[in-house]
Structure formats: structure tokens, C-alpha cells
Amino acid sequence: MRASQFFIATLKEAPSDAEIVSHKLMLRAGLIRRLAGGIYTWMPMGLRVLRKVENIVREEMNRAGAVELLMPAVQPFELWEESGRGPKYGPELLRFKDRHQRDFVIGPTHEEVITDVVRRDVKSYRQLPRHFYQIQTKFRDEIRPRFGVMRGREFLMKDGYSFHTSYADLEREYRNMYDTYSRIFTRLSLQFRAVAADTGAIGGTGSHEFHVLADSGEDAIAFCPGSDYAANVELAEAVAPARVDAGVTATMEKKATPGKTKCEDVAAFLGLPLTQTVKAIAVMAEKEGGSEFVLLLLRGDHDLNEIKAQKVVGAFRFARDEEIVEALGCKAGYIGAVGFSGRVVADRSVAVMNDCVCGANEEGYHLTGVNFGRDLPQPETVADIRNVVEGDASPDGKGPLELCRGIEVGHIFQLRTKYAEALKCTFLDEQGKDQVMEMGCYGIGVSRIVGAAIEQGHDERGIIFPASIAPFAVAVVPMNYAKSEAVRAAAAALHAELLAAGIDAILDDRDERPGSMFADWELIGIPHRVVVGERGLKEGKLEYKGRRDTEATMVAVGDMAAFLKQKLCGA
RNA sequence: CGGGGUGUGGCGCAGCCCGGUAGCGCGCUUGCUUUGGGAGCAAGAUGUCGAGAGUUCGAAUCCCUCCACCCCGACCA
């Protein structure tokens, strides 16, 4: 490819509406252009990257035994009514009517369609298992599209669906996909982690998310460096700490703490560690015929995990000020469980505390030296209701947890029979009996991967693409191309030699000034650069520089192609 | 949807408070010079100042309505 015949659309300055690095760099490098909120054109340079990601995904899916097909983007709404998911998906589902006033949606996912295909064409256990996948454009009318291609409304996704005669076989395929995904992200040279996940709206039981580790990630992940344990913070279990019975040493005392409503302030004011304070969170739990006032107790340095708490007390909302005053006779900020006779749910870490500090249920006062079983009854419920924090014990007992942020680029689910049942997707078993199929589904955000790779690979000059997905592997950059015949000839010869060797090389024949050519290729993130200049040619040499290198190295003209081939294989 | 912010040539911005000639840098076009880190000189082109309504002799600027976009929360690959 010659640069003059391609299209290079680099920008010196990033449009001001881009916030995170990958978005800015993708715009500056001319990979994408925005058409509307969350909707982007993939420019020629960006499309090359997208296609490379896509092909790696395709190769590995094929290798894993899945078969590719392509389903329509437009789906009849009836299918969504049949699965019962229409109302649940809500406004994220882009709906419209055709000229006959029939309802359609632009597919945000394809469980319904694939299940419809399979229920029509697969009738016997002999045809199972089957795994179909596609790489296709999805549309989700996100509430808040952002970060460019990371959370677009229209995006490219690989979605695969597997069908089985038994749960055991689904589990087998699930493990197969777990391995396949790991292979894909490894080939993409991404730093990633598979994390146990909540099953969310799609439903089902077993589920793992694959996260690319990056500080700009939207998800918080807890992981154990000493093992392969990793989980979304919302889901990671905070294990019960060992009971440290240093025992009860203090007597309960009331201390004036004027204006100190936060645990941090109270601890600092009293000169006690934050870990000795207990915060009480007042909620109204739903109950038949009304709601119940419940106190949730957490250690001062911990945060409530609403999902976990909901599993314990049922659906709830935070109590209003007047409800708190009515129940405890005091406003929020000074509340505690001492003297409270209603329902109390304590976090596991609170249950093992001694001599703690809590609100006195009197404005401007806290209690110190408070102990369960003496100053107040043991809490009626002890449960895990907090988010894990750095340093917590890993649930697998293999050391302390660390926290990091991640970008979700893949998600695998055991759907079980949820859709197969709703859509009557059945097969005849060996006994000729009708059985509902077990299903799995497996997604990869192909376009999101491009953004995630850039989040992981960039510097002040621009993108640093992994060789596996760079739009071009090598940029051949001639100096004074228009005037120097020797340079032109040498550049053309090298370019031809690289192409013949199957190396994706681009010859920059634009006759730009050297500085702007260098800047462009560094911005775009091409991993290897060869400069062809009269200076080097006089000594029979070309100049090589890797994108991460600080110094260039001189290589004899005749050796350059072999030199690059070796670099590319090594990478 | 709630909270915060921004809309001025292709991109980045100034001008707005205090109404009166639309400006700067980059990019673009042409010519000459230049050619190893985003060139120099000269000449040019490009704006319904987000849209609509209003106040005014006069609106980018003041008032109202709407729209778009971005950031922070719930959703997701």
C-alpha cells in the first residue's frame, strides 16, 4: 500500500469533546469519525485495525469448533414478546415500525433469533451440540454513550450461542470458551483477567467477564495476586474475619462530638482508628403491607454493597430524614444501634469488633467502648453486605485481595434453559422424548477491543499498537522522496520485497517533510519504521526504529527485509 | 432521566461581562524557496457566530424557548 493511495486523516489537536486517551488518539490518528452520539464511522485506517481484531476472533472461534453465520440486524418485535424480554429491555431497545405498521427492533443481541433458527432446524440429539457465532453490528440505545468506541450505541460484536443436550455438556463448552477467550486476548497482546461476574439482565447462572486491565476502566475488579481468583467488586465475597478476641476492655462512655457526623471525622476527633468505628445506615425494606425500618451496620472504613444487602433484607431504599428521627429520635450522623429495638443487620466485620465507636442517637454525641452482648444485643443477622477493600482476605484463602480497574471486552454465560424454554427450543432424546436444550452464550466487544488496546498501549506521541492488530506492520518512510531518485528506488524495492514476503507495509510516498511523517506514523502506532535516506544509502544502510525504541539502528539495505521478518515473528 | 458544562470557518480557541468592522493559531489553495522531527516568505479561499422567537436604530454579545454535544450517577460487549 502506498500512502498517497490510502487515506491518512491525522489531526494535530484532538476535538475537545473527547475525554479519555483512546478516544482522543483514535480521533487524532484518523481511525474513527463521529457521526452522532455513540455512532462512529470507521475510517480506512481504523477499519484495518478492526478487521485484524475480527480475524483473530474468527480464527480462534473456528478453531474452537464454533460455526459462523450471520443474522439480520433487524428483528421482528414479536420474537421479543415471545421470550418475554421486550418490556424488560426497555428503552435501550431501538424499536420502529415498517410501512405496514409492524413492530421491529434493531438487534441489541441475538438470543431470540438464534434460538428461533435452532428450534426450526435442530430436532434431534444427534444434531447436538452446536455452537453458532456471528460478528455483526449491534445497536443499543445506551442512556449515556461515551468514551468514543468504548461505549458506542452502534458497535461490532462477536456473539456466539451454544446448544446442548445436557448441563454437563454446556459446562464442557463453557470451559472451552473460557480457554478460547483467553487465547484470543493473549493473541491480541492484551493484559487481561477473567473475573467471576454477576449475571445481570441476560439471566442464567455461571458467568465470567473478561477484562482488559486499564485505569480508565469502568469496572472495579478485586483479584488475588497469589491465585487466579478475580471478581467484580460488586460480587467479590468479603469473608468473615477471624474473631480477634482482644476482648472487651472498655466501658461504654458517651462523648461529645459536635458537628462530627462522618466516621472519618469522629475517629479523627476522638483520636481512634477508623476501623474502630461503626456506621449505621438506615434503610426502609419492603415488606408486605408497608416497609420496615432496618439498621445496617458497617465498619467505618467500609462501603455498603447494595446488591449484597438486597439479598439479605430484600428490596430497600434509604430512609428519609423524618423516618430516621421517628425511629431513633435523632437525625442522621449520630445514629447507632444501641437502644434500638428494631431489625439490625451487621456486616461480618462488625460482628467481630470490640470496644467500638458508634452514634449515641443524640445529636452531637457518640458512644465509645460499645460491645455487642453487653451494651446491646448481638445483631440478629450477620451477613456480607459490604464491598471488598484492598487487603481483604481472598475467598479462596490464598492471600490478600488487590483492586484494579478493567474494561469489559468479553462475557461468557451459562444461560441454561431460560430462552430455550420461553421459545420452546426442544430436541428428541435417545428415548424419543422431547427435551429442552441447554444454552450458553458468549460475547466479545470487537470494536471496544480497539479502544481497550489503545488504553493499554500509548505514550505521549500516540498509539502503540500490538503488532497483531496494527493497521500496518511496517512504515517505509523515504526522505526527500520527490527529488532523490536513489531514495525512491530503494524505498520502492524494500516495499516490494516486504509485500512479497506477506508483510503489511505502507510506503509513505506523500513527500511530506520528515517531521510530519514521523509524527503521523508514531501517532497511528505503527510498530516498525524504516527510514530510507540518502545519508544512509551512501553507506548502503537503512534505518530501523521500533515504536517503543528510543534509538534507531542501522541495517544494511540487503538485510532489512530479513531483519523485519525476524522482528515480526519474534513479536 | 437527574446534576454540571460547552456550542464562533475542517480542528483548537479569543471576542460575550460592558451591544456597533467577526478575529487568532493550525489545517486548506496557489507560487517560490526549503527537505532527517509537525518549514519560510508571499498571495488567497472558507462563517446563516447551534436553531427559532424577542428587546433594540443596531445582537456572536442582552432575554426566552428549543436542539446538539461533553462530563458525573443507574445499564452493558
Q: What is the pLDDT of residue A314?
A: 81
For a pLDDT cut of 90, what percent of chain A falls above it?
Answer: 56
Domain identity same for A431 and A534: no
- Quick one: which residue's CA is nearest to B12's C1'? A13
Distances (CA, A) of A184 to A41, A43, A62, A300, A342: 25, 24, 12, 42, 53
Three-state secondary-structure class, residue A135: strand
Average pLDDT over residues A524-536: 96
Q: How far apart are CA A539 and CA A242, in angstroms?
A: 72
Q: Which of residues 384-423 of A touch strand B (CB under 7 A)?
A: 408-411
| Dihedral Cα A554, A555, A561, A565, nearest 10 deg | -70
pLDDT above 80 (res A199): no
Stated as kind and residue range, the H or E segment containing A36 is: strand A32-36
| Dihedral Cα A311, A315, A318, A322, nearest 10 deg | -130
Task: Name the grid cell of A20.
Answer: 479519555
- How far the first Cα of chain A sits from its last, in Å, is 22
Q: What angle do CA A407, A409, A414 make, to 5 degrees?
A: 120
Residue A537 lies in a domain: yes
Question: What is the residue-averaged pLDDT of chain A?
Answer: 90
Domain identity same for A560 and A494: yes
Asked if residue A516 keeps its beta carbon closer than 7 A to nucleic acid strand B, the reply is yes
Domain identity same for A28 and A81: yes
Domain identity same for A74 and A162: yes
Grade residue A246 by pLDDT with cuts at 50, 70 and 90.
low
Alpha helices by DSSP H, A245-392:
263-270, 306-313, 321-328, 348-351
Three-state secondary-structure class, residue A541: strand
Q: What is the pLDDT of residue A203?
A: 43
Q: What is the pLDDT of residue A420?
A: 94
Q: Per-residue pLDDT tens for A308-337?
A: 888 888 878 888 888 888 888 888 888 888
Q: How far apart are CA A154 and CA A145, in angstroms?
A: 10
Residue A323 lies in a domain: yes
Residue A107: HSE in the Cβ half-sphere, 13 Å Cα cutoff: 22
> Ramachandran region of residue A175, left (φ > 0), alpha (ψ -120 to 50) or beta?
alpha
Give the position of cell 420496615.
A292
Domain identity same for A99 and A128: yes
Residue A100 lies in a domain: yes
CATH classification at residue A563: 3.40.50.800
Q: A401 and A393 in contact (C-beta within 8 Å)?
A: yes
- When mean pLDDT is compared over A85-89, A340-344, A459-463, the highest value belongs to A459-463
pLDDT above 60 (res A170): yes
Q: Per-residue pLDDT tens for A361-374?
A: 988 899 999 988 88
Three-state secondary-structure class, residue A16: coil
Residue A386's beta-bridge partner residues?
A304
Residue A14 lies in a domain: no
Domain identity same for A39 and A163: yes
pLDDT above 80 (res A198): no
DSSP A379: P
Q: Which of residues 56-75 of A touch strand B (CB under 7 A)?
A: none
Domain identity same for A371 and A432: no
Domain identity same for A310 and A338: yes
Q: How many helices (H) and strands (E) does chain A have?
A: 16, 31
Task: Name the grid cell of A238.
Answer: 468479603
Residue A248 lies in a domain: no
pLDDT above 90 (res A155): yes
Residue A5 lies in a domain: no
Of all nucleotides, the one whose C1′ comes closest to residue A202's CA is B76
Q: What's the distance, CA A286 to chain centroid? A: 32
Q: Per-residue pLDDT tens for A250-291?
A: 888 898 888 888 888 888 888 888 888 998 888 888 777 778
Average pLDDT over residues A145-171: 93
Domain identity same for A88 and A192: yes
Q: Which amino acid is at A262?
A: K
By CB atoms closer than 10 A (0-12, 13-18, 19+), residue A299 is: buried
By CB atoms closer than 10 A (0-12, 13-18, 19+), residue A351 is: middle
Residue A131's beta-bridge partner residues?
A162
Of all nucleotides, the one whose C1′ comes closest to residue A148's CA is B70
Asked if residue A94 keeps its beta carbon closer than 7 A to nucleic acid strand B, the reply is no
Q: Which amino acid is at A362?
A: E
Sorted by sequence, the CB contacts under 8 Å of residue A467 that are 6+ apart come out as A189, A473, A527, A568, A571
Instruction: Strand B: list positions under 7 Å from protein Cβ.
Output: 1-2, 6, 11-13, 25-27, 34-39, 68-77
Query: Could you tell me the distance in Å between the CA of residue A542 and the C1' of nucleotide B32?
Result: 32
pLDDT above 90 (res A445): yes
Q: What is the pLDDT of residue A234?
A: 75
Q: A222 and A401 in contact (C-beta within 8 Å)?
A: yes
Domain identity same for A64 and A101: yes
Q: How far apart are CA A499 and CA A45, in angstroms?
A: 18
Query: Could you tell me the distance in Å between the CA of residue A15 and the C1' of nucleotide B56?
Result: 37
Grade residue A204 by pLDDT with cuts at 50, 70 and 90.
very low
Q: Per-residue pLDDT tens for A60-104?
A: 999 999 999 999 999 999 999 999 888 777 778 888 888 898 999
Residue with more model confidence, A445 or A301? A445
DSSP E strands in A334-488: the ranges are 343-347, 356-359, 365-370, 381-383, 402-416, 426-428, 434-436, 438-445, 458-459, 462-463, 474-478
Q: How far apart are CA A384 and CA A312, in angstroms?
A: 9
Q: What is the pLDDT of residue A201?
A: 44
Lowest pLDDT segment from A66-80, A211-225, A473-487? A211-225
Residue A265 lies in a domain: yes
Can you give the residue range of the structural domain that contains A26? 21-236+404-454
Task: Name the grid cell of A459.
Answer: 505514550
Q: DSSP readout, A491-519?
A: HHHHHHHHHHTT--EEE--S---HHHHHH
Q: What is the pLDDT of residue A455?
A: 93
Grade residue A42 by pLDDT with cuts at 50, 70 and 90.
very high
Q: How far apart are CA A206 and CA A240, in angstroms?
A: 24
Q: What's the distance, CA A175 to chain centroid? A: 20
pLDDT above 90 (res A145): no
Q: A446 and A57 in contact (C-beta within 8 Å)?
A: yes
Domain identity same for A206 and A341: no
pLDDT above 90 (res A229): no
Asked if residue A264 keeps its beta carbon closer than 7 A to nucleic acid strand B, the reply is no
CATH classification at residue A353: 3.90.960.10
Domains identified in chain A, total number: 3
Asked if residue A540 keeps its beta carbon closer than 7 A to nucleic acid strand B, the reply is no
Q: Which of residues 418-457 of A touch strand B (CB under 7 A)?
A: 443-445, 447-448
Grade residue A561 by pLDDT with cuts at 50, 70 and 90.
very high
Lowest pLDDT segment from A30-39, A203-212, A447-456? A203-212
Backbone angles phi, psi at A420, to 5 degrees: -60, -35
Q: DSSP readout, A248-289?
A: -----EEEE-TT--SHHHHHHHHT--GGGBEEEEEEEEEETT
Domain identity same for A410 and A364: no
Residue A479 lies in a domain: yes
Q: How far apart are CA A44 and CA A235, in angstroms?
A: 41
